[in-house]
Amino acid sequence: MVDSERFARLKGPGSLWVIAAIHGDATRLGRLHAGLAPRLGRADRVVYTGNFLGLGGDILGTMNELLAFRRWFLGRPSAVLDDIAYLRGAQEEMWTKLLQLHFAPNPREVLEWLIAQGAGATLTAYGGSILDGMASARAGAVALGRWTASLRAAQSARPGHAQLMTAVKRAGLTDPKALLIVHTGLDPGKALADQKDAFWWDGKGFTRLAQTPYAYEGFARVVRGYERSAPGLIETPYTLTLDGGCGRGGPLLAVAFSPEGQILDSLSSEA
């Protein structure tokens, strides 16, 4: 059994739309939403696979677009709160770590690593400064605590942003059991309930899973929405990678699955 506090349970007879990593590209997200809205059936569900933050040029606009579409989605007749879900990606994990930097035993090294991985775009979007962060880290825990508090306040000042971040899940799964949706990977040698940060870091584990001639824990398919090389749509008998490189110059992709895990439809922000 998996904890519903950590995993999105996506129930219902309709299609499930899985949306790839966004990386702060609000324009392409808006285009995708415009194409998706008229295709959604009454019982359809939507899951975003993480990395809404980081890299791209309009992170605040991306968050606002996610919230606006959520309001529209839940305003439809017979809409259910759990029919739209958001997964934690590597960028969301790093932003969380950055907001807790004052607890790190080596904050300067951690901050340098986070910036190198693309978290600087999110920091800048919420009014933060890398130089101020480094200076605060050198000054000690009290100064660093004030700096991270200012970032949390800046996020909270944007209506809905902090609430959306607290709502992210580790992974999503359909009920009845057919699809498992992850950010970038998992450890195929561990049970689903025992997976931890492999969901947003273990891309190699997903590659091993794609080469395995049997289903993981009985799921018809495991789907991921981020792959560093942005290969587009790559399908194997039991896995599917969905990443066109949104936020890195490529399109934002989405795929609709049947309750049994079969591909029904696809959509691109460039269509």
Task: Indicate the domain borders of the chain.
Answer: 7-89+170-268, 92-156
User: Helices H, strands E: what count in the chain?
Assistant: 10, 11
Average pLDDT over residues 75-102: 94
Residue 3 pLDDT: 67
Residues 6+ apart with CB under 8 A from 34: none
Compute how many other C-beta atoms are within 10 angstroms of the C-beta atom of residue 50. Answer: 32
Residue 245 pLDDT: 96
Which one, of 249, 253, 251, lies nearest residue 55 by Cα? 249
For strand 171-175 and strand 7-11, is the pairing parallel, antiparallel, or unpaired? parallel
226-230: list long-range contacts, CB under 8 Å, 24+ apart.
226/20, 226/21, 226/49, 226/50, 226/51, 226/89, 226/90, 226/183, 226/184, 227/184, 227/203, 228/203
Average pLDDT over residues 222-241: 95
Residue 4 pLDDT: 64
Does the pLDDT at position 90 exceed 80? yes
Which one, of 261, 257, 259, lies nearest residue 19 by Cα? 257
b or e along 120-153 (b: 16 or more beta carbons within 10 Å of the residue's beta carbon)?
bbbbebbebeeeebbebbeeeeeebeebbeebee
pLDDT in tens, 18-43: 999 999 999 999 999 999 999 999 89
User: How confident is the prediction for the chain on average, in pLDDT?
Assistant: 94
Q: How far apart are CA 89 and CA 69, in angstroms?
A: 19
CATH code for residues 7-89+170-268? 3.60.21.10
Alpha carbon 100 to chain centroid, angstroms: 20
For strand 45-48 and strand 84-86, is the pairing parallel, antiparallel, or unpaired? parallel
b or e along 236-245 (b: 16 or more beta carbons within 10 Å of the residue's beta carbon)?
eebbbbbbbb
Q: How far apart are CA 168 and CA 164, in angstroms?
A: 7
pLDDT in tens, 106-138: 999 999 999 999 999 999 999 999 999 999 999
Spell out where 120-201 has E strands.
171-175, 179-182
Q: Is the pTM of this model over 0.85?
A: yes
Does the pLDDT at position 1 exceed 60? no
Does the pLDDT at position 79 exceed 90? no
